[in-house]
Chains A and B, each alone.
Chain A
Amino acid sequence: MKELSLNILDITENSTKAGATLTSILIDEEENTLRLTIEDNGSGMSEEILRGVTDPFYTTRTTRKVGMGLPLLKLAAEQTGGFMKVESVSKDVDPVHHGTKVEALFYQDSIDFTPLGDVVSTVCTLIQGHPDTDFYFRHRILNQQKDVLVELDTRQIREVLDGVPLNEYEVIKWIEEYVNEQYSGPQDTE
């Protein structure tokens, strides 16, 4: 993948496929590290499936025999000196508290660090494709110049919209601008 944001899109698509009603995407940047956490309340995986999930030749899909999503993220993290780990609770084991958590640590000063890229586009793409699923996105950047905190919670947006689908173009465009403004700080347009 050319951007980490594409890995994020890919992994989060798995969460929605697992029937998650809420998926959190958390990015924490501090000094030279970037920590990515994607956590969902989907159906989870059995221990057997979990063991094979970072093996490129393991997949549950039937159209093609090779699943590359998590192996690609693992590779992207490990090539910077970081790691990826996956925890999961299957709904067969715990019918109430089930889901999957993917956590990856990257060293941004590594020459093999893949840039984060357009994460706002990833968030908008997810909402466009899954308007009935909720996403919580939080990106925190702590460095010497300034601290940045960007947040988006579709549950809040859904409440305001009161039945208007989240994937209406005007809504998606508003979300895109709303998130982008949080990165750039308030712009005085008056």
Chain B
Amino acid sequence: MKSLAELQKIKARMQDRVVLREGSGDIRVVVGMATCGIAAGARPVLNEFVKDVSEEGLSDKVTVSQTGCIGICQYEPVVEIFQADKEKVTYVKMTAEKAKEVVEQHLKGGKVVEQYTIGAYQS
């Protein structure tokens, strides 16, 4: 059974690491979590990013956060990736499987997954 004592141990383990990490994340993954996003399936997409970023050891440079409606509801679930000195990348109609690929190729490999971007859908 999970206990608060176990949480204590996690705390002790995390405390040093968290201090090191502060301010170092230079890639921001933002998932739209308004009514439109949630209804279209944003929850599993967000959870996949959170899981994969941690499990792939990317937590030091990638932060995953949530935002409201950005006005392109027909393309939800929408994920935006911001990186210093680079143009914003907007992924549309995302799924957990696509999120996995984006983590692997874009966040880890530095290569934008073109076929999932809004540009691929609009052209």
Contacts and interface: CB of A to CB of B under 8 A. Distances in A.
Asked if A and B are interacting partners, one says: yes
Interface in B1-20: 1-2, 4, 6-8, 10-11, 13-15, 18
Given A64-B73, A129-B65, A174 B7 contact: yes
B68 interface: yes
A104 interface: no
B105 interface: no
Contacts of A61: 68-69
B59 A169 contact: yes
Nearest to A124: B47
B11 A6 contact: no
Interface footprint category on B:
35 or more
A103 B47 CA distance: 27
B66 A129 contact: yes
Contacts, number: 99
B118 interface: no
A63 B4 contact: no
B81 interface: no
B89 interface: no
8 nearest CB pairs, A to B: A169-B54, A129-B66, A63-B71, A178-B2, A164-B14, A186-B1, A69-B35, A68-B35
Interface of B: 1-2, 4, 6-8, 10-11, 13-15, 18, 33-36, 38-39, 43-44, 46-47, 50-51, 53-55, 59, 64-66, 68-71, 73
24 contacts: A1-B39, A10-B34, A13-B68, A63-B68, A64-B69, A68-B35, A125-B47, A128-B66, A160-B7, A161-B7, A161-B10, A161-B11, A162-B11, A164-B10, A164-B18, A168-B14, A169-B51, A169-B53, A169-B59, A170-B10, A170-B14, A171-B10, A178-B2, A187-B1
